[in-house]
Amino acid sequence: MNKVYRMRAVAASLSLVGLLGGCGAGVTLQVTPADAGSGPAVEAWTTTGDKTRLLARETGLAFGGARPLPFTIEVDANRRYQTMAGFGASITDASAWLIQRRMSPAQREALLRELFGRGENGIGFDFTRLTIGASDFSRHHYSFDDRPAGESDMNLAHFSIEPNRAEVLPVVKQALAINPQLRVMASPWSAPGWMKTTDSLIKGSLRPDRYDAFSRYLVRYVEAYAAEGVPIFALTVQNEPHFEPVDYPGMRVDSAARAVLIGQHLGPLLERKAMKVQIIDWDHNWDEPQAPMTVLADPVARPYVAGVGWHCYVSESLLPNQTVVHEAHPDKDTWLTECSGGEWKPVWSERLPWTVRHLIIGATRGWARGVQMWNLALDENHGPHLGGCRDCRGVVTIDSRTGEVTRNLEYYAFAHASKFVRPGAHRIESTAAAGEIETVAFQNTDGSIALVALNSTTAQRRFSVRFKGRSFDYTLPRESVATFVWHG
C-alpha cells in the first residue's frame, strides 16, 4: 500500500523582543530573584503547538543550588552513546526545481543559508539525501541510463547525470558551499528499466544477471557527482525495497537479493576502487527488522554494510525495532533516512509533538546518527510530483508564483535539534520527568550541552533540569517543545 495511506503560561513573565531570523517571535524570560541562579547560564528556545511561539529565544535562566522540583530531568554527560552526523531533509527533484526555478537568486540564497547555515539565522541542516534518478517527487520519470524498450546498455555507454545538471546539482553545490560539513547520501528508486523484470521503471524486481551492471551504475553515479564536487558519503541499494508502487519508479529487492548484490557485486567493486562510500541497508519501515537482520546475517555481505536505514511509515509503536537491530549488531550505524509530514495531519498541536517524540527524541534514543525528513521543499499544491503522494508536506513550502517561503511544523521540530547539535556531538544520558516530559540530550565537541524537552500533554508542566549537582526550573506550555543550551 502507498505510504500516504499507511500514515494517515510560563511561570516567569515574558516580553517580546522581535524576530529571530525569520524563525518566529523572540521572547526574553524575565527572571525573578527566586529563579536566578549562580551557575552556568542557560538559553532556551521554545515552540508551542498553538504557534504563538516559534523557536522563540529566552535568556536569563541559570543553574543554581536550589532543591530541584519533584519533576526533575537528570543530565549526565559521562554516559555517552552514538556520535551524531546531523539532521536534515532530502533535496528531491521537486525541492531543487522549486528552489532553482521558482525563487529569485536573493530568495534562494536566503533560504539555503537559513536551512544549511549556522549562526543567528541558520538552523544548520547537516544531512541530506538525493534520489538516484526519479522518485514520485520528480516532474518526469527517468534514470541515468534509459534505453528504448527491448534494448540494454551493459557497458553503460549512455550513462549520464545530465537530468540533474539544471536544478539538483546547483542546489546541492550551493548548500555545500554554505555548509561544507553537509553529509550527502543517495538512494535509487529504480534501476534503469532494462535491468528489471518489467523492462520499466515502474514495478518489477532487479534481474540477477543485471546485479553487476546495477552496481557499476551506482558507482558511476558516485564518481560523476564527485567530479562535480559533491561527495556522496553513503548509498542505499534501493529505496523501500519491499514496496512496488504502481505509478512512480520502484523496485523490489528482497533481503536475499540485497545480500548477493552487496556481498558479491557492489561491496567488492567499491573495495577494488578504494572508494570510501558506505552502504546502508534496508532504507524502509520499522515493521520488518528481520529484513536488515537477514542481510547482516550473511557472512559475505555483512562486512560491506556500514549501517541500517529506517523510514517512519508504519505504526510508531514499532520504532523500538531500531534498537532491536542495533543491539544485535552494535557495530553497525543506525539512520532514519525518510519520514514525511502531510495534510493528513495538519493540526500543529497534534503533529508537532508526534514529530519531536518519534523523530528527534525516539529515533536518536534508538541509536540514529542522522535523521531526516523527506522533501526539503514543496509548493502550495504539495508538488510538483508525478504519481505517489498527493498531500505530502515539505519542511518548507515555496509559493511557486512568488517564491515566498512558509516554514512548516517540521521546520521547527527539526530546528530544535539541528540548530544546536553539531556533527561529532555525542548523545548523552537524560531522564524523563515523571514520564510527562520526554527528553534527549547531546554534548557537542566544544563541551556545550543541548537538551530537547517535549511536553505532549494538554497542560503546562513545571520541572527542574539538574546537571553536575545544580539545577534550574522551567515551565513548558502544553503540546510544546523546548531546547536548552549551556556550557558544561
Q: What percent of the chain has pLDDT over 70?
A: 92
Residue 1 is assigned to a structural domain of this protein: no
Report the range of poorest mean pLDDT among 15-29, 180-194, 331-345.
Answer: 15-29
How many of the other CB atoms lie within 10 Å of CB of 68? 17
Residue 23 confidence (pLDDT) above 60: no
Q: What is the mean pLDDT of the chain?
A: 92
Residue 434 is assigned to a structural domain of this protein: no
pLDDT of residue 38: 64
Q: What is the mean pLDDT of residues 4-27?
A: 34
pLDDT of residue 367: 98
Q: For the domain that residue 355 is a member of, what is the CATH number?
A: 3.20.20.80
Residue 470 is assigned to a structural domain of this protein: no
Residue 343 is assigned to a structural domain of this protein: yes
Report the range of poorest mean pLDDT among 9-18, 212-221, 403-412, 463-472.
Answer: 9-18
Q: What is the pLDDT of residues 88-135, one digit of tens each?
A: 999 999 999 999 999 999 999 999 999 999 999 999 999 999 999 999
Domain encompassing residue 144: 84-426
| CA distance linking residue 111 with residue 349, whole number of Å | 26
For residues 70, 356, 418, 452, the Cα torsion angle rounded to the nearest 10 degrees is 0
| CA distance linking residue 422 with residue 444, whole number of Å | 6
Q: What is the pLDDT of residues 130-144, one digit of tens each?
A: 999 999 999 999 999
Total domains in the chain come to 1
For residues 28, 29, 32, 34, the Cα torsion angle rounded to the nearest 10 degrees is -150
Residues in the chain: 488
Q: What is the pLDDT of residues 434-483, one digit of tens each?
A: 779 999 999 999 999 999 999 999 999 999 999 999 999 999 999 999 99
Residue 14 confidence (pLDDT) above 90: no
Q: What is the mean pLDDT of residues 330-336?
A: 98
Confidence of residue 5 (pLDDT cuts 50, 70, 90): very low
Residue 1 confidence (pLDDT) above 60: no
pLDDT of residue 225: 98
Residue 55 is assigned to a structural domain of this protein: no
| CA distance linking residue 265 with residue 474, whole number of Å | 55
pLDDT of residue 171: 98
Residue 209 is assigned to a structural domain of this protein: yes
Residue 7 is assigned to a structural domain of this protein: no
Q: What is the pLDDT of residues 188-246, one digit of tens each?
A: 999 999 999 999 999 999 999 999 999 999 999 999 999 999 999 999 999 999 999 99
92, amino acid identity? T
Say if pTM beats, i.e. exceeds, 0.75.
Answer: yes
Residue 298 is assigned to a structural domain of this protein: yes
